[in-house]
A and B are shown apart, each in its own frame.
Chain A
Amino acid sequence: MLNIGPYEFHSRLVLGTGKYENFEIMKKSLEASGTDLVTVAIRRIDLNAPKGEGLLDFIDPGKFSLLPNTAGCFNIEDAILTAKLAREALKTNLIKLEVIGDKFSLWPDMEQTIEAARILIEDGFVVMPYCGPDPVGARKLQEIGCHAVMPLASPIGSGLGIQDKETLSIVRKAINNVPMIVDAGVGTASDAAVAMELGADGVLMNTAIAEAKKPIQMAEAMKHSIIAGKLAFDAGRMPRKFAADPSSPTEGVPGS
């Protein structure tokens, strides 16, 4: 169970809906992943093609909750307008807050993210901010009342995996009241498992599945990796040793 504000989700995997070859593959990938929370962007309607099958026709509202994002916003005003439009369009107060500070790396602007989060919380949103792997910034987001904190593992869409495990562990220790969801950078199943083994409460991903050769199969792999990583974290890993420690008895070896 993943609890975010007043909401409860069965899966610890949050999936994006971007970059799929088509909506049918997306739909099957969502189902194979076991997720029940999916992210969507908010974009202008194409006035030349206002009709036709849309994204929401392929997302069963009985199975999935929608998590709209403010992707593409570079300032507080645009992020807040996008969040309000999302709430109006999708009738949800969940928002994945992104305020980007750098086009090349899509690195979040923490100063503006914190201020935007403050305004949205005041307005009744359940705010899940995308942030850097920064324990001080993450703690501030928790302190102002964010309902989850979502540090990146590596740049959005890069598939580079967990670039700095130690720092992500420090962020984990800094966040104790709300879920930490690793958002962005996962490339394959082991990355998701590592994120969970570091103590993440969940992982949000998109490209790792959408750009896999077999997205539906990768979605299923991710489902298992999240479960395995969480079980392993809860089980408590053995201490690391810097010499071998035989598993078989050293006494009674035949012929010795």
Chain B
Amino acid sequence: MKIKVNGKIVTFEGGTVNQLLRDLKISPDFVAVALNREIVHRHERDCIELKEGDALEFVKAAPGG
């Protein structure tokens, strides 16, 4: 299925938020996730199954003032 991650279309076999994080080789520490503009808390990452067309944001701290 196709989903959107950080504004880009990504093909994903299906599964949970944590599975997608692993597929993309993103270390889960200090990463925040939003699914369709709603926050996915850490304890929910193993429970929420992604669906076709979902839009995800994976963000972290970056240099800034």
Within 8 Å of chain A (Cβ to Cβ): is B31?
Answer: yes
For the complex, give the distance between the alpha carbons of A40 and B61 in Å.
6
- Are A89's CB and B63's CB within 8 A? no
Which A residues are in CB contact (< 8 Å) with B34?
Answer: 81, 84-85
Which B residues are in CB contact (< 8 Å) with A204?
Answer: 65
Within 8 Å of chain B (Cβ to Cβ): is A238?
Answer: no
Which B residues are in CB contact (< 8 Å) with A56?
Answer: 30, 60-61
Which A residues are in CB contact (< 8 Å) with B41?
Answer: 88
- Are A18's CB and B59's CB within 8 A? no
Mask, B40-60, CB within 8 Å of A = 1, is 011000000000000001111
Chain A residues numbered 77-96 whose CB sits less than 8 Å from any CB in chain B: 77, 81, 84-90
Mask, A38-61, CB within 8 Å of B = 1, is 011111110100110011100000
Residues of A contacting B: mostly: mixed
Q: Nearest B residue to A72 by beta-carbon distance?
A: B64
Which A residues are in CB contact (< 8 Å) with B61?
Answer: 40-42, 54-56, 66, 68, 86, 89-90
For the complex, give the distance between the alpha carbons of A45 and B7 in Å.
11
Closest chain B CB from A219 CB (angstroms): 14
Interface size class of B (residues with CB under 8 A): 20 to 34
Within 8 Å of chain B (Cβ to Cβ): is A222?
Answer: no
For the complex, give the distance between the alpha carbons of A69 and B34 in Å.
17
- Are B32's CB and A206's CB within 8 A? no
- Are A44's CB and B58's CB within 8 A? yes
- Are A43's CB and B65's CB within 8 A? no
- Are A51's CB and B39's CB within 8 A? no
- Are B59's CB and A45's CB within 8 A? yes
Which A residues are in CB contact (< 8 Å) with B31?
Answer: 45, 89
Within 8 Å of chain B (Cβ to Cβ): is A20?
Answer: yes
Assess A69 versus B64: contact at CB under 8 Å? Given A42-B32, A44-B57, A85-B57.
Answer: yes
Assess A41 versus B24: contact at CB under 8 Å? Given A85-B32, A88-B41, A90-B30.
Answer: no
**Those 10 A-B pairs whose CB atoms lie nearest each other, nearest first:** A16-B65, A41-B64, A206-B65, A89-B32, A88-B32, A43-B62, A85-B32, A44-B6, A40-B61, A18-B63
